[in-house]
Amino acid sequence: MSKSFPGVKALDKVQLEVKPGSVHALIGENGAGKSTLMKCLFGLYHPEEGTIELDGEKVEMADPNTALKLGISMIHQELNPIPYRSVVDNIWVGRFVKKGMVVDEEKMKAMTEELLKDLEFNIPADTLAKSLSVSQLQAIEIAKAVSYDAKVIIMDEPTSSLTVAETKHLFKIIGRLKSEGRSIIYISHKLEEIFEITDEITIMRDGQYVGKWAIRDITIDEVIHQMVGRNMEERFPPAEDTIQEEVLLKVEDFTSAQEHSFEHINFELHKGEILGIGGLVGAQRTELVEAIFGLRKIRSGTLVMNGKIIKNQTPKDAIKNKFALLTEERRATGIIPMLSVWDNALVVAYKKLADNVIGLIHRKKIGKSVDDICRELDVRMANTDTLIKNLSGGNQQKVLVGRWLLSDCDILILDEPTRGVDVGAKYEIYKIMRDLVKKGKAIIMVSSEMPELLGMSDKIMIMCEGKLSGILEQKEATQIEVMKYATMFSNKAKEEDSE
């Protein structure tokens, strides 16, 4: 299979072979061509050369409708629900069941309820999609894919927004689909998942086929080496003693204005420090950092920066006070997809970089700032006029980091900084973080990935059900200790109930 875009050879004679009743991992760095290959298989793209065979028969994928009729369905990485329509409509859109000339609403609802019950998804069928969480929307996409009775189901980063429990539930469903003789093509950057549930693995690099292995015949280290084309003995850059005595930020008695959210949170952040925030889904970590950045209202609490009380009542206040926030959902609330890298990098810093009183933009002068920051962060692209939506996830994330560096921030809040980013790009983002704290910047990092939390944090603050349950120094932090504090109040409640 070969596919080109203007100036880019996305696929160069790539091959993929998937057995019936198997889970086949397809992995590679961002930009390796995985999603392009799957879009060719699903009829979204038309390759210049190559063939597709299904059950030994050569088939032509004219469009996604053809793929679905032939028994291939796809769960896309980017969720695109119809927000003001129900779960029923989102599952059956384009193929509504009719009774005569009208849509049979009752039958569709009954079919949806049976499907959700069979998959053990506890979601009311008549709920509007806009009211669902990201993980529930992911569940609806899974239900939709299964409803087509497909022989091959492509899952592109299906667990990126799921909790540990929801991920285990998905694996249970995958096991059932496999036992029914269906094939799963599983794309994920979470290598531990791949070794838990897949039978075979195909690795791509730079739009080319690297090889196929039985999962039992390869190790995680070998997978990483084959993906990135170089040895990576360490998954994290070495830590240096960058923490200064000076306290940059004090958060005192921070309590949300919303009920059942965070309350009475206190911590200090030093210059040159990476403070990790751990906890399970529902711990209110994102809500806390968004409140610090002025995106959410608080009922009580004080921010003290460099010894002075400040107020971040809005994100505009936070930016003036030299705060930055990389949001959890890069595609939904980070990038502006229809704009260029140049515009995305400058969106916060236009006013600061404008070279006169009335704010006229000197493109050539400002452009050098963008070029310099993109070069410093090693953003891989044709040029800064490239639309940011055409970059890989890791490179999009680097542009967003560059956006805040151009704004000259002192405190960088990173919410799930490497979600949906491959292992090579993760390492590059980690290096950027280490370089920033060397320069005296401070980082608050929310992460659900335990290796990342333990490998990158100088100190870990753990939250449980909106409360601060513990703060661990790097030398005493282990997975067991973090999980103990992450479930502290839940376990206490269970003990009280049992008494």
Reply yes or no on whether the pLDDT at 326 is more than 80. Answer: yes
Q: Say if CB 404 and CB 352 are below 8 A apart.
A: no
β-pairing verdict for 152-156 and 183-187: parallel
3-class DSSP assignment, residue 270: strand
Reply yes or no on whether the pLDDT at 362 is more than 80. Answer: no
**Mean pLDDT of the 8-20 span:** 91
CA 169 to chain centre: 19
Q: Say if CB 385 and CB 361 are below 8 A apart.
A: no
Cα 465 to Cα 156: distance, rounded to the nearest angstrom: 30
For the ranges 39-53, 119-133, 482-496, the lowest mean pLDDT is seen at: 482-496
Reply yes or no on whether the pLDDT at 392 is more than 90. Answer: no
Reply yes or no on whether the pLDDT at 266 is more than 60. Answer: yes
Q: Higher-confidence residue: 37 or 419?
A: 37
Cα 44 to Cα 32: distance, rounded to the nearest angstrom: 18
With cut-offs at 50, 70 and 90, classify the pLDDT of residue 453: very high
pLDDT at 497: 47
Q: Say if CB 402 and CB 379 are below 8 A apart.
A: yes
pLDDT at 232: 56
Eight-state DSSP code of residue 250: E
pLDDT averaged over every residue in the chain:
88
CA 31 to chain centre: 15
pLDDT in tens, 277-308: 998 877 999 999 999 999 999 999 999 999 99
With cut-offs at 50, 70 and 90, classify the pLDDT of residue 330: confident
Cα 124 to Cα 119: distance, rounded to the nearest angstrom: 13
| Closest of 396, 387, 385, 454 to residue 421, by C-alpha | 396
pLDDT at 355: 64
pLDDT at 6: 66
Burial of 192 (C-beta count, 10 Å sphere; 0-12/13-18/19+): exposed
pLDDT at 221: 83
pLDDT in tens, 52-88: 999 999 999 999 999 999 999 998 877 778 999 999 9
177 CB-near residues (< 8 Å, 6+ apart): 146, 153, 184
Cα 395 to Cα 43: distance, rounded to the nearest angstrom: 26
β-pairing verdict for 247-256 and 265-270: antiparallel
Cα 376 to Cα 406: distance, rounded to the nearest angstrom: 12
Q: Higher-confidence residue: 21 or 166?
A: 21
